[in-house]
Amino acid sequence: MSFEFSPEAIARKRARQRPTTYSLPSTFNSLTTTDAFGGLYRERWKSSIGDYVAWYLSYKPLLHSVTWMGVPTRKFVSDLWIYQELVHERRPDIIIEIGSLFGGTTLFLAHLLDLVGHGKVISIDRSRQVFEISHPRVVEITGDSENPETIEAVRTICGSQTVMVIHDGSHNYEQVVVDLNLYAPIVTRGQYLVIEDGVVDLFENEPETIGATYAQNFPSGGPLKAVATFLQAFPDEFEIDESRERFLVTASPRGYLLKK
């Protein structure tokens, strides 16, 4: 079963699709004059990683400006680089992407597979109203990730091939747990199950902050909590690969799971 956005929702999404300007917050722009010797940059470096991540995620003109070949991805660039490493090292036959929206990351993954000369992307999403891309390596399945018809279609395509899964669907704790239980068995040994956006669980619930927004949107918790629950249930099947977080800035803390 597919999901339809309202015309108003589509208009809002497209209106903020490709911002062309953005500005640094005060914590990153404390000097008002140009300093040829780098003083401005040294001041910015005094800010914490947490400050930067909170700004990156809460300041929509920046987040929405991240694109691949002109199509919005809304990712940390460091995480996209890690995806490049995984594709090169693991050469999966199939990458299942749960949640595609505009399709920027879908296209990025398809282009990586072009470079290695192998593989397909299965894009699962409830709606294609704002999905922009078409590529011969991309297979679209439109419907809820937990629907039996969706699961059956995915299993039919995957067959006995090697499979990696990237979860960027609902960030609600309960739904992420459901999806992990459904799709983890499809991941093959030596491949990755990536759970994105566990970062939403890390912010303090303080008034007028991104943490307050996330607490309202995900009252039961988010993907990071779901990963902990999942690993408690299946401690011998997956291991957290912390090396994939070595760039420190990631939307997927404890979210790169390697199937043993």
DSSP state of 81: H
Over the stretch 188-242, which tens digit does the pLDDT of each residue have? 999 999 999 999 999 989 888 899 999 999 999 999 999 999 999 999 999 999 9
Over the stretch 41-80, which tens digit does the pLDDT of each residue have? 777 788 889 989 998 998 888 888 999 999 999 999 999 9
Neighbours of 239 (CB within 10 A): 13
- The percentage of the chain sitting over the pLDDT mark of 70, rounded to a whole number, equals 85
Over the stretch 147-200, which tens digit does the pLDDT of each residue have? 999 999 999 999 999 999 999 999 999 999 999 999 999 999 999 999 999 999
3-state secondary structure of 177: helix
Q: How far apart are CA 38 and CA 108, in angstroms?
A: 34
Supply the pLDDT for residue 62: 87
Q: Structure tokens of 228? A: 């902990």
Supply the pLDDT for residue 34: 56
Q: 249 or 4: whose pLDDT is higher?
A: 249
Q: Please say if the pLDDT value at position 32 is more than 50.
A: no
Over the stretch 77-129, which tens digit does the pLDDT of each residue have? 999 999 999 999 999 999 999 999 999 999 999 999 999 999 999 999 999 99
Burial of 48 (0-12, 13-18, 19+ CB in 10 A): exposed
Q: Please say if the pLDDT value at position 16 is more than 90.
A: no
For residue 25, what pLDDT band results from cuts at 50, 70 and 90? low
Q: Please say if the pLDDT value at position 1 is more than 90.
A: no
- Assess contact for 229 and 174: CB atoms under 8 A: no
Q: How far is CA 17 from the centre of its chain?
A: 17
Supply the pLDDT for residue 21: 58
Domains of the chain by start residue, with CATH:
7-66 (no CATH), 71-259 (3.40.50.150)
Supply the pLDDT for residue 30: 52
Q: What is the DSSP code string of 31-55?
A: --S--TTSHHHHHHHTS-HHHHHHH
Residue given tokens 């992420």 in the structure block: 176
